[in-house]
Amino acid sequence: MSVSSALRVPLRRATPSTAVLLTIAGLLVAIAVFAPLLATHSPNTVDMTAVSQNPSAAHWLGTDALGRDIYSRLLYGARISLLGPALIIAGATFGGVAVALACAWHGGWLDRVVSRINDILFAFPGLLLAVLAVAVFGTGLTAPVVALAIAYLPYMARIIRGVALRERRLPYVVALEATGMSAWRINLRHLLPNLAPFIVAQATAALGSALMDLAAVSFLGLGVQPPTADWGLMVSDGESSLLAGAPGQSLMAGALIVLTVVVFNLLGDTMIASAHREGLR
């Protein structure tokens, strides 16, 4: 089942509020994709003659402490701010689904061992794991993304495992086993497609949390480094201007983080509820 097909089931009876959430999410993604076309200035161009200016015709949202256009930096910042969480959830979902299906299918000692490993991983906050990864491998996007993907994997695995166990016990799976169909074919051609709506919904809900964690890493200065535009980094960079009476950069970048987190959390919750109502048939 394709992602578009998986989305169709939980959103089959989409409400007006869900349509609004989808529209906002689509606009955020479009902003990231078309940032070069929408930006009015280069995001990294320093202009010391236009430091900390208020919004104007030349700079729609003003400038930061280095004279860089805030509007353009917000647009370009959407790229890393959305790409990073998407990579985190993609990795966590891929690993989590594989682990969940293996545990649901085989059960026994494998399920018990994996459950204990997941319990250990639950004890490590994702942000702490990201900080440790940066300490070992250095700053940048790669280390925190990989660390947070590992941190999110047990959550995805445990949630999907519960649904997979229920699907595993259904009569059609027993019938397929009786016909001699291999476990690989049953999981890939039947179990996984039937679980796809719930997987997509859960991944959507987790995307907001991943964005918040990655923004926190950038805020601490451990993620992408200046002059790269990133919302979390922009909140941190705007602290000096905030104290000087120019709160635009920090407030606007922070508002975009909050908006994106809320949109994806609400959208994910709606999709999860719809998937449960559909019964994952």
pTM reported for the whole predicted model: 0.90
Q: Which of 4, 193, 185 is CA-nearest to residue 97? A: 193
| CA-CA-CA-CA dihedral for 182, 279, 95, 180, to nearest 10 | 0
Cβ-based neighbour number of residue 61 at 10 Å: 19
Tokens standing for residue 275: 């998937």
Residue ranges per domain, the chain? 3-39+69-278
Q: Quick one: pLDDT at residue 12?
A: 54
Q: Quick one: pLDDT at residue 141?
A: 94
Q: Quick one: pLDDT at residue 14?
A: 61
194-236: pLDDT as tens digits: 899 899 999 999 999 999 999 999 999 999 999 999 999 999 9
Element (H, E) at 241: helix 239-243
Cβ-based neighbour number of residue 28 at 10 Å: 18
Along the chain (281 residues), what's the average pLDDT of each consecutive run of 10 residues? 48 73 95 96 92 91 93 97 97 96 91 91 89 93 96 94 90 89 90 90 94 96 93 91 83 96 93 71 48
Residue type for position 180 = G
Angle at which helix 16-33 crosses helix 248-278, to 10 degrees, equals: 130
Domain at 3-39+69-278, CATH from 3.30.70.890, 1.10.3720.10, 1.10.10.10, 3.40.1440.60 = 1.10.3720.10
Q: Quick one: pLDDT at residue 243?
A: 75
Q: Quick one: pLDDT at residue 9?
A: 47
